Structures are given as C-alpha cells and as structure tokens.
Amino acid sequence: MTLEVILKKDILTLSALNPSDFSVLFERAKELKSRHKKGICEKSLAGKTVGLIFEKPSTRTRISFEAATAQLGGMPLFISAGDTQLSRSEPIADTARVLERYLDALVLRTYSHAMQEEFAGIASIPIINALTDRYHPCQVLSDLFTVIEYKQTLAGINIAWVGDGNNMAHSWINAAAKLDFSITLACPADYMPDEKILSAAKEAAGDRIIVTEDPVAAVSGADVVNTDVWASMGQEAESNKRRQAFTPFQVNRELMSHAAKDAIVMHCLPAHRGEEISAEVLDGSQSAVWDQTENKLHMHKAILEILIAG
C-alpha cells in the first residue's frame, strides 16, 4: 500500500491527495479497526519512532496519534513546542534537519500552516498536519471514514457544515473537491471560509460546494450534519462577539428536523453543549460523535503505517 501523493508523502492538506489516496487510507483504516477489535497485535512500526510537536493543547489528536503509534509497535515521542529550541528562535530548518535524523515521522500541531510547510520543505521524513489555523486534514479523514461506516459510501452523500468557516471547514471543502459528495456550508457573513480555498475547490467540484448564511437551507435533506465550536483555540477573546453571531446556527432538535430522517450528527470535539450544539442532539440517537472520535485512532494508524512502513 502506498500513497501516490507528493514526493516523500507528507499530509499537510487534503488538496494534495488523489482520490485513490483517500481510498487506500479508508480501506486500511477499516482493516486495522477490524483487526483491533479481534485483538490482533500489529508490528508494522516496530523499531520506528514518531515525534509529536504540539504548540496547541490536545486531547483526542495527541492521544490517538500516540496510541496509534504504540499499537502498531512503534514508539511515540511527545515534544511540547515550548520545551524545544524553537521556543528560543532556533530556525525551523535547523530543527527539521536534526529531527529527521532521530525520527521516522513528525506530527505537528501548530498555529501557523506556513511553519508546517517549512518543515516539510526541509525534512526528509513525513510531516503530518495534526492541525493548523488553516487546515485539519487528519480529523476530516477520520470523519469521512465515519461517514462511510454509517452510509456505506460517500458518493451522492449530502453533508451540511453549520458554523464557523474555519480550518475544519477548509479541510471539508478540500475533500469535496476530490471526492464525490456534496457539502453546503452555513456560516455567518463575517465568518465565511477563505475565498481562495473555496474558489480553488469549486473549480473542481462546481455546484457540489455551496455556501450560504441560512442554516436551515444547509441542513435541509442533509445526510450528515457537522459542526464545531464557535471560538477555536486562540480566539477566546472573540467569544462574546462570536456567540452573538453564531447563536442562530446552533445544531439543535429544531434544526435537525430539516435533515434527512436517518441523518447523523458529527462534531470533532471538544463540544460546548448549549452553544454550537444542544445536549439532546450531541447525546441523542443520531449522534455519531463517539464513533467519530474513536475512528481517529484507526485512521491515524493507517496514515502512520502507510507513510512510514509503506
């Protein structure tokens, strides 16, 4: 199993993946999940070390990448960005040249996307984007895998994104440009997705990507309803302003009444019950959130195994 993607096979954005790359990742995640449930012990990363440098706090992404590495027989090595010489202005290029000699892959969670691009441009090992302010590709890969589990396919599926036009929205937009599903994003006027990202994706996807300010229009007939927090990390000072703008965009029982009867609800977590999503929806029968978060483990296994072990 190999990815056709770029050079040494970084995953920085979903726009760099080919449709066949997605298929390889989905299929391997499915196999690894099934084998895990059967108690089969994997050794594909035996003798390999995966570094994780995180500038931002994390629960699910950090733990799932660490657990994925360990369950494949490798050694995860968490590195707080503040504990490295990067915090004392060592050039990224110097750090990258050092780490490529110690590690077999590097998972990065940073504010700046350009920082990850610089790492990838220097390091010979795979660089994996575990979140930037611009994209969250690994999260959306695991979310797409979850949709396939529930709906058996992505072809013809209608997905609604309700809330901020943020890094998650950008990665969903990138995925829609590569795969055969439709997405309608409902965002307040001042919180729309980046126009360059949107325009580039619409060149490929056409009318399969729609942006609106009307959450009811976005959710109507949707097979999947997806949301995220109103104020992401680093935006806490904007919380009150954002709450006022986003209140009409809460995913609640009334909004879900416009979706398909068998629609599922997704949220990448952490969730603020009573803000972007009501407790009865998050914890209700249509919620796929707990399967969604488990699937980060299995998708991250697939990513690591394919990029490192090939």
pLDDT recorded at residue 297:
98
Rama region for 36: left / alpha / beta (φ>0; ψ in -120 to 50; rest): alpha
Which helix (H) or strand (E) is 51 found in, with range? strand 49-54
CATH number at residue 88: 3.40.50.1370
Which helix (H) or strand (E) is 49 found in, with range? strand 49-54
pLDDT recorded at residue 1:
64
Q: Judge contact between 128 and 11, C-beta under 8 A.
A: yes
Q: Judge contact between 281 and 254, C-beta under 8 A.
A: no
Domain co-membership, 149 together with 177: yes
Domain co-membership, 166 together with 120: no
Separation CA 214–CA 141 (nearest Å) = 26
1 domain-assigned? no
Domains contained in the chain, number: 2
Q: pLDDT per position in the chain (310 positions), as tens?
A: 666 554 458 999 999 999 999 999 999 999 999 999 999 999 999 999 999 999 999 999 999 999 999 999 999 999 988 888 888 889 999 999 999 999 999 999 999 999 999 999 999 999 999 999 999 999 999 999 999 999 999 999 999 999 999 999 999 999 999 999 999 999 999 999 999 999 999 999 999 999 999 999 999 999 999 999 998 766 777 888 999 999 999 999 999 999 999 999 999 999 999 999 999 999 999 999 999 999 999 999 999 999 999 7
For 214, the domain range is 139-292
Domain co-membership, 216 together with 73: no
Separation CA 142–CA 289 (nearest Å) = 11
pLDDT recorded at residue 2:
61
Report phi then psi at 18, rounded to 5: -95, 160
7 domain-assigned? no
Alpha carbon dihedral 122, 124, 130, 131, in 10-degree steps, equals: 20
Triad 183, 186, 192: Cα angle to 5°: 100
6 domain-assigned? no
Domain co-membership, 83 together with 161: no
